[in-house]
Amino acid sequence: METKIIYDSSINQDLIKNLKVAVIGFGSQGHAHALNLHESGVNVTVGLREDSSSFQRAEEMGLSVANLENATKDSDVVMLLLPDQVMADVYNSEVAEYMKEGSTLLFAHGFNIHFNEIKPREDLSVAMVAPKGPGHLLRRTYSEGSGMPCLVAVDRDTSGNTQEIALSYASAIGGGRAGILNTTFKEETETDLFGEQVVLCGGLTELIKNGFETLVEAGYQPESAYFETLHEVKLIVDLMYEGGFEWMRHSISDTAEYGDFSRGSRIINSDTKKEMKKVLDEIQSGAFAKEWMSQAREGAPFLKEKREEASKHQIEEIGKSLRDMMPFLDAKDVTKNK
Ligand code: NDP
Ligand code: MG
């Protein structure tokens, strides 16, 4: 498999501008794809369920909006940007029958194809354009003129130019500025799930939470614990993002660097790594996908319970009041700003 990174200069950027694109969903990824495509000069329609609360918002942003049938039926490319757990039902009941003969079905994550939740109509081409970051940052980086790396994969090429269409789409949402990597649905799905479970979301929040609790339980002020274990994470991660571990370590004090090398591996150790391998096994075997889909069918009780519990943690309360006092920070509150 070719692993060369692809940039805008080697992409046919006009291809997608001559096609009609439907973006299904207007959530985290949906709003970013639709707005970026629109500003790149692509003919895009946002497809939403009847009585969608996003209808007016998308229209106010200058986008053309339609119900699922109308958005889908004369589009050459249909990008599904719905929660993974509802995607198969929506595709089967409200998208598949309306898609144009020989058109292209796109995904931003391989879950439903790789785990066989969706079996696309035989005549369709199937590909993936997966931005490697949250939707709101996909939008922000595009607006600022930078971009977000994207993964591209082709599952089925009936049109003969599915790869070119996927690349052209990725370029129009800003991926070609940061770099696009060819992958497979299998690799994207498994690495994406592993990343979010072990490092980016699950691992990081548990690391921060436990660090915060340890300091507060030892009698330190929660404000001090918050600055140290949550706020400063971004500053350190920004340095890694710019120049790797070495650049970060060049910037911190020798004392911090000595503590880093001598203590870090006591926190994340060989037992932790063994557990990481188990988590990866569960992803590769399909056990995680099976568990999550069955949870989702029951209304996601575990997710709802944990979400509620986490929102009441002291780190969230103290964080809210501290962020409100940081004028440089556009503080977000999920209860006020969905
Ligand atoms: P969201 O949860 O933000 O999607 C919400 C949108 O889906 C809303 O527009 C909502 O409609 C619509 N929707 C929800 N349920 C239904 C339904 N039953 N019928 C019709 N529409 C429905 O999804 P994400 O943006 O998080 O994820 C989209 C895809 O992108 C997924 O495949 C995900 O894995 C992938 N991805 C997501 C990333 C992210 O940053 N979140 C990062 C990379 C990939 P309404 O507006 O009417 O409420
Ligand atoms: Mg991801």
Domain count, the chain: 2
Report yes or no on 64 lying in a domain. yes
Question: At 213, which CATH number?
Answer: 1.10.1040.10
Counting ligands in written order, the one closest to the CA of 134 is 1
As a whole number of angstroms, the distance between CA 117 and CA 137 comes to: 28
Give the domain extent around 215. Answer: 193-336
Residue 148 and residue 231 in one domain? no
Q: Is the CB of 79 inside a 6 Å radius of any atom of ligand 1?
A: no
- Spans of the chain below 70 pLDDT: 1-3, 337-338
Residue 179 and residue 199 share a domain? no
| Residue to probe by mutation, ligand 1, list 45, 81, 140, 293, most atoms within 8 Å of CB | 81
As a whole number of Å, the end-to-end CA separation of the chain is 40
Mutate to test the pocket of ligand 1, among 28, 80, 118, 185 (most ligand atoms within 8 A of CB): 28
Q: What tens digit of pLDDT does each residue of 179-204 get?
A: 999 999 999 999 999 999 999 999 99
pLDDT value at residue 3: 53
Q: pTM to 2 decimals?
A: 0.93
In a shared domain, residues 144 and 203: no
65: helix, strand or coil: strand
Q: What is the pLDDT of residue 331?
A: 83
Q: Do 227 and 125 reside in the same domain of the chain?
A: no
Residue 26 near ligand 1, beta carbon < 6 Å: yes
Q: Please give the positions annotated as active site.
A: 109
* CB-based neighbours (< 5 A) of ligand 2, an ion: 192
Question: How many angstroms separate the CA atoms of 222 and 217, rounded?
Answer: 9
| CATH value at residue 138 | 3.40.50.720
From the CA of 30, the nearest ligand is 1
The per-residue pLDDT for 338 is 45
Q: Residue 6: which H helix or E strand, with range? A: strand 5-6
Same-domain status, 161 and 248: no
User: What's the 154 CA to ligand 1 centre distance in angstroms?
Assistant: 21
C-alpha distance from residue 308 to each of 45, 49, 83, 263 (Å): 35, 27, 20, 33
Rounded distance between C-alpha atoms, residue 21 and residue 228, angstroms: 45
Tens of pLDDT, residue by residue over 245-292, are 999 999 999 999 999 999 999 999 999 999 999 999 999 999 999 999
Ligand 1 close to Cβ of residue 48 (< 6 A): yes
Domain termination site, one of 183, 214, 234: 183
Q: Is residue 92 domain-shared with residue 232, that is, in the same domain? A: no
Joined together, the tokens standing for residue 204 give: 């990081």
Distance CA 183, CA 113 (A): 14
What is the structure's pLDDT at 329? 87
Per-residue model confidence (pLDDT) at position 235: 96
